[in-house]
Structure 1
């Protein structure tokens, strides 16, 4: 697939169709839908944070249906074991009665894996996802199994529940391309949700693209040019999150304990390329970097006690950093 004006138009049309189709089942949450699509086309994992009942699980199931991808859901609980995620070797007997080991695949072997309430499982089970998220492989015993592409983990967690949960360690958080905050719906959106969920109305979803198309589009997105100035701006934003950096703004020096990793810059630049095409442009603009900075940085910046006591959130901090960094 060659990148040209016609290709861009085709891509924008396909993505718009996907967004509209998903919007039939997911009321509101337009930004969340678009940002999840950005992550899918970038090839990254997503952490969805929001209160129960906001449609996080339904969003992932709908995306799998519209994109013709295999889907599996793992409900994380304290007694969930790593083998329940990746699979295990079981003993099987052939027709002659001879026994042998056979690998039984776990739910991780799907295109879209929903890790529901990921912070309810123990660190040992949480870490079972790390290899799959980063390397796209699963190792059991002496054998390594390759996961089918496209592959991504969409994990959810409830921000208001702390009892009986195991917060994700910083290194694991960094494996997620985006962290998305799912907001509570407005009155109009709630009314629309009621019309869909408490009636006999059935929603018919059409398949718009498939996994092969997604992989082709990913290759194409990497060819989108980005000017040196725009790329430098993204790197300056990253460095501005580090309080020890000489060029860090005062807000970072005052409120940040640890800044974002280089993966944040990779996430911003890769996702900004796709966002540019989704907006119908063949070049990355500063506004694209600003748009993707929030989901790419909010889980990679760690605030100190002063920030908590002064009511400073990561989103407020990112907004001030974006304003302070010269383009």
Structure 2
């Protein structure tokens, strides 16, 4: 009887210890979540331009939109005629609106794209793609010209926006961007944009994913654009491919890139971790969010902080949903 009592007593202590540890982790994550939201709100308040746009969108996408619309209605009053940045203002406001108001902001973005003499066509068509707005079929001639433009970014983002014309269009676009990434003779800007679009366009088939992944793994460690391609491989993997050694190898090499003191690299990594990161990555992201390794450029540091804060909130959301 005593042995039985000791056994149950030991089990009880063990269970309490586990619950205590789980509670401690939960409290730590809640503190991080609060820090992340506060970080984004501080950046929204104190930064300007696209850094401010990114913070605003991260707040919207994590269910913390309070105060964002008011801030951007004020931005609209101040910068409604400022090329390029006005696109960001309309983009934020469209995501905080509905019905006719939403349509108004989207229409302004569309008009900026079809203005062939405008100064913010590239920003406009990129935003149309991000808002899943196709310029077809209403603007066939202008769209066709943009698709074949010598301006690589204009052409690439137009291909992305056109992908939202139909389901078949998305399949075609996915193959188009995969071929651009895989083509080593293509210019680096086009390949990087293609990788960015690809990672935002759903999973690849098994054979396509393996081809992309093997190409990335074979690249020199210091190869230009390699981080973008690693990210694309990670974010286009199906659940089955995520269980493979190839995926694990790519993920490990992706995380190692976090040692670089580079804004673009850290934002790229944070974007990837926002989607596939776990609790193991919270310390890395917390360091970036708290800006423990400053670059000396306030706006760059703030952009990294915002990206890290967003990733923390998305990881915390997944942890909460899985418990």
Do these two structures clear the TM 0.5 threshold for a shared fold by scoring above it? Answer: no
More helix by share: 2
Structure having the larger proportion of residues in strand: 1
- Determine which structure has greater relative contact order: mean sequence separation of CA pairs < 8 Å that are 6+ residues apart, divided by chain length: 1
Larger Rg: 2
